[in-house]
Chains A and B, each alone.
Chain A
Amino acid sequence: DADVTQTPRNRITKTGKRIMLECSQTKGHDRMYWYRQDPGLGLRLIYYSFDVKDINKGEISDGYSVSRQAQAKFSLSLESAIPNQTALYFCATSARVGGGVFFGPGTRLTVL
Chain B
Amino acid sequence: DAKTTQPNSMESNEEEPVHLPCNHSTISGTDYIHWYRQLPSQGPEYVIHGLTSNVNNRMASLAIAEDRKSSTLILHRATLRDAAVYYCIRSGGATNKLIFGTGTLLAVQP
Contact = CB atoms under 8 A, between A and B. Distances in A.
Q: How many interface residues does chain B have, given as a range?
A: 20 to 34
Interface of B: 32, 34, 36, 41-46, 49, 51, 87, 91, 93-103
A100 B41 CA distance: 21
Tell me whether chain B's interface is mostly helix, strand or loop, or mixed.
loop
A33 B91 CA distance: 13
Interface of A: 31, 33, 35, 40-45, 48, 50, 56, 58-59, 90, 92, 94, 96-106
The 5 closest A-B pairs by CB, nearest first: A42-B100, A103-B43, A100-B46, A43-B100, A98-B32
A56 B94 CA distance: 12
B86 to A, nearest CB: 11
A45 B96 contact: no
Contacts of B46: 100-103
